[in-house]
Structure 1
Amino acid sequence: MPLANAIMDYTNIFIRLGCGRRFDRKLPAWSDYIRGLRHNPDKDAEYTLAVWQSRPPVAPPDVVGRSGCFSFSLETDRSARIHFDRTDGTVSPLCDSEVAARQRELCGLLAQIVTLTPAVKTLRGLSWLYHHHRYRRLFPPAYLRSAMPVTDRYRNMPLWGQFLRWDGSLRAERASHLYQHIQGEFHPSRLATGFPLQPLAVSAPVTVFQAFYARR
């Protein structure tokens, strides 16, 4: 498989480099990046980091509203997706001391959803974080019970985020597990089993969230 195809189809790099979500192989910003690859893992990793650092931060797609670490975008007229991103703080946004702040932010996000998009009746999420107790405790039990694993989302951050800590540092043990998995003779169909956690898709009615946060 050509290196350019592997990076396009089996990593999150296209989006991280600010090339959008249409995955246009002819996009100038992407073509410029591909031309700089040297087919040397260490040099290409350093080069990719340098390109990423030179480009603006990438926001979640089509954000309608934001409240602290959380934001939402519309999937359809009647459903919205919740996004999570760490803020620039000195502690993990999911540590015990931050729970109350995250709950207030979710209450604020819910108020925005109801006010700005009153036709929305269902809230959805997709992330590896729904495996994580510190994240799960922020959400209604019914929302969490709906969780279903989603595979083959190699282009999306809900899969790759599990290799980074809240401060952006690498989770070396998880990264090593994936790296060892793809050594030697390898086929893309086996890639999913190299990830310690698969992203979970979750959903629940807006009314479930309203009842849950009303008790907070």
Structure 2
Amino acid sequence: MRYGKEFFDLQLRFARVVAALAAIPLEQALLDYTNLYVRFGLGRAFDQDHPTWRRYIQGLSQTTHASDWTYSFYLAHAQAGRETPLVATFGCFSYATPDSQSIRLHFQNTDTATVSPLSIDRLPMRLSELRALFDHVRRYEPEAESVLGTSWLYNLRAYQRLFPEAYIASATVADNRFRNMSLWGQFLDRNGGLKVGFTEDFLRRLSKTTTVRELASCFPLQALAVSAPITQFHTFYDSAM
């Protein structure tokens, strides 16, 4: 998905507030409090000396149009690398293997239907995709013992109902996710534009923020970290057939 310019403008605006509140350079705020580094295809090392990042920062310092420069830089570099190495994809769901004993779930809306991919009408399709994913895991990841996830989506009942209760019950707030789509993704609609309601709520909260400690509370939904034994998933999807 190609993200709209407004998504980057929102992060630039947030970074400027962070820089002012924390008394740090804008460059550092952009690296530590936005998803730009990842969106530029640079991986997750967050190396301030990465040559591509340095080119972005140098260009930023030389322009009076930070918004245009940032978006043009994104368009030129978005395909440079994959955000997360994925093992396999099944419809809207995919998984990665952080180690041999666990898998990490990911969601991306690839549904071409006109209704929400999490609507009740699409529930059978989502369950079918997850059943296929875990059948694949059972066959090709025999050492996997646990399932991990981190996303703002775990706040939504429409998403929660796709998973075993034990997985959802394990949810805890994932702190310091300012660099990640597990937090920033809540502002995006299915076309890569901004959700008006979420964005307005965020900006309203941001305008009232006076300390660095309050920054996380500007986000309408927090990123939640979840985990459960993989046996819970096999039982859940086998029974959902």
Query: TM-score scaled by structure 1?
Result: 0.90
Give the match for residue 189 of structure 1.
213
The one-letter code of the counterpart of 2:134 is L
The one-letter code of the counterpart of 1:169 is G
Aligned-residue Cα RMSD (Å) equals 2.1
Tell whether 2:95 aligns with 1:65.
Answer: no
Alignment check: 8 A CA contact 1:70 1:83 kept: yes
* Structure 2 unaligned regions, length at least 5: 1-23
Separation (CA, whole Å) in 1 of partners of 2:162 and 2:82: 22
Separation (CA, whole Å) in 1 of partners of 2:137 and 2:239: 19
* 1:8 corresponds to which of 25, 31, 46: 31
Alignment check: 8 A CA contact 1:65 1:113 kept: no
Tell whether 2:198 aligns with 1:147.
Answer: no
Give the match for residue 37 of structure 1.
60
Q: CA deviation at 1:174?
A: 2.1
The one-letter code of the counterpart of 1:101 is M
Q: Structure 1 residues 215 and 117 mapped into 2: Cα distance closer, same or farther (>3 Å)?
A: same
Alignment check: 8 A CA contact 1:149 1:201 kept: yes
Superposed structure 1 runs of 4+ greater than 6 Å apart: none
The 5 A counterparts of 1:1-216 are: 1-37=24-60, 43-57=65-79, 59-87=82-110, 89-91=112-114, 92-183=116-207, 186-216=210-240
Q: Report the structure, 1 or 2, having the larger helix content.
A: 2
What percentage of aligned pairs have identical amino acids? 38
Query: TM-score scaled by structure 2?
Result: 0.82
* Structure 1 unaligned regions, length at least 5: none
Alignment check: 8 A CA contact 2:43 2:82 kept: no
The one-letter code of the counterpart of 1:63 is L
Alignment check: 8 A CA contact 1:3 1:39 kept: no
Q: Structure 1 residues 154 and 76 mapped into 2: Cα distance closer, same or farther (>3 Å)?
A: same
Q: CA deviation at 1:183?
A: 3.8
